[in-house]
Amino acid sequence: MSIHASAEHFVEERRSRPRHIWFLNSAFDNIDFPLAVQRLAERDPKKPFAFVVTPNVDHLVRLRKDGILAPLYAQAWLTVCDSRVLELIAGLSGEDVAVTPGSDLTEALFDNVITQHEPVTVIGGNEDVIKAVKARYGLHDVRWHQPPMGLRTNPEAIADCAAFVAANPARFVFLCVGSPQQEMIAEACQERGDCTGIGLCVGASLDFLGGKAERAPKWMQRTRLEWLHRLAQEPQRMWKRYLVDGPKVVFLWWEWRKARAKLRAFEKQLAAANFKL
């Protein structure tokens, strides 16, 4: 089935389903990968700036203790699940959270949506990656801004990034400076009021397209072992994320299950009370 046909089928099915799925501590949009691509492709590029977030296990663990992330995520136009591990946990919980990895979403846009002559704006990455992506896709108009390190504590640099987006309008703006810095830039773009297009908070996605980093083989992606591949590639940088912080998602799951059970019990009590009335 084509991406367009699959998206149409999902639209019909979704009419009887809720718009969002609340899982762990995030509200995921109730759409699958083809429909996410379609929504991005069809959005009017002249509309006010909006942005997409792609939560994974690391993000949801940090959401619990990092007060800056929750209000940033709440402003997102689209929230899709970046993690096949989260997809598995959701499935075991009876929740249908479709997986839309940020790297796959980025690749699909460059492969199927972005044209060679349209402007593309990138915040982050490095010169070699930008050159490689331009060459791979034959792009003629890539507007690139490389902000300094320490963005989280540098409001002036955040403002400079937003000013660059405003001065370089594009249908797609790739924010590739890690979380929560990329979401902070997206918020600054919204607050300016003169930015347009869609910001994609997609971390290292361009590194994969530009050959700086290598994605896990497809079989590892399918078996939800992509995290192990990244750990093997960058053990010094990734060990804490995957071996210390990542497993904390089990506690989030336990808390969420308790909260869901209480909510369902309350709903039953409310329904019973209304029936008696």
The pLDDT tens digits of the residues spanning 181-221 come to 999 999 999 999 999 999 999 999 999 999 898 898 999 99
Pinpoint the alpha helices (H) of the chain.
3-14, 33-42, 57-65, 69-74, 84-92, 102-112, 127-137, 155-167, 181-192, 205-209, 218-222, 226-233, 235-240, 249-276
Residue 2 has pLDDT above 60, yes or no: no
Residue 8 has pLDDT above 70, yes or no: no
The pLDDT tens digits of the residues spanning 104-126 come to 999 999 999 999 999 999 999 99
pLDDT on residue 270: 76
The pLDDT tens digits of the residues spanning 230-274 come to 999 889 989 999 999 999 999 999 999 988 888 788 777 777 776
For helices 127-137 and 102-112, give the axis angle rounded to 10 degrees: 40
Confidence of residue 176 (pLDDT cuts 50, 70, 90): very high
pLDDT on residue 271: 72
The pLDDT tens digits of the residues spanning 61-107 come to 988 888 888 999 999 999 999 999 999 999 999 999 999 999 999 99
pLDDT on residue 112: 96
pLDDT on residue 277: 59
pLDDT on residue 51: 97
pLDDT on residue 266: 75
Confidence (pTM): 0.87
Residue 48 has pLDDT above 50, yes or no: yes
pLDDT on residue 122: 98
pLDDT on residue 20: 86
| Cα–Cα distance for residue pair 136/269, rounded to 1 Å | 59
Question: How big is the CA angle at 129 (ends 125 and 131), to the nearest 5 degrees?
Answer: 125
Residue 195 near residue 165, CB atoms below 8 Å: yes
pLDDT on residue 67: 81
Mean pLDDT score, 41-45: 95
Tell the residue number behind the tokens 């999902």, with chain if given.
10
pLDDT on residue 38: 96
Residue 47 near residue 196, CB atoms below 8 Å: yes
Residue 5 has pLDDT above 80, yes or no: no
| Cα–Cα distance for residue pair 139/118, rounded to 1 Å | 8
Q: Would you tell me how many other CB atoms lie within 10 Å of the CB of residue 182?
A: 26
pLDDT on residue 14: 46
pLDDT on residue 17: 60
Peptide bond before residue 235 is cis, with ω within 30 degrees of 0: no
The pLDDT tens digits of the residues spanning 12-42 come to 544 456 788 889 888 999 999 999 999 999 9
Residue 156, C-beta contacts closer than 8 angstroms, at least 6 positions apart: none
Could you report how far apart the first and last alpha carbons of the chain are, in Å?
49
Q: What percent of the chain has pLDDT over 70?
A: 92
Burial of 27 (0-12, 13-18, 19+ CB in 10 A): middle
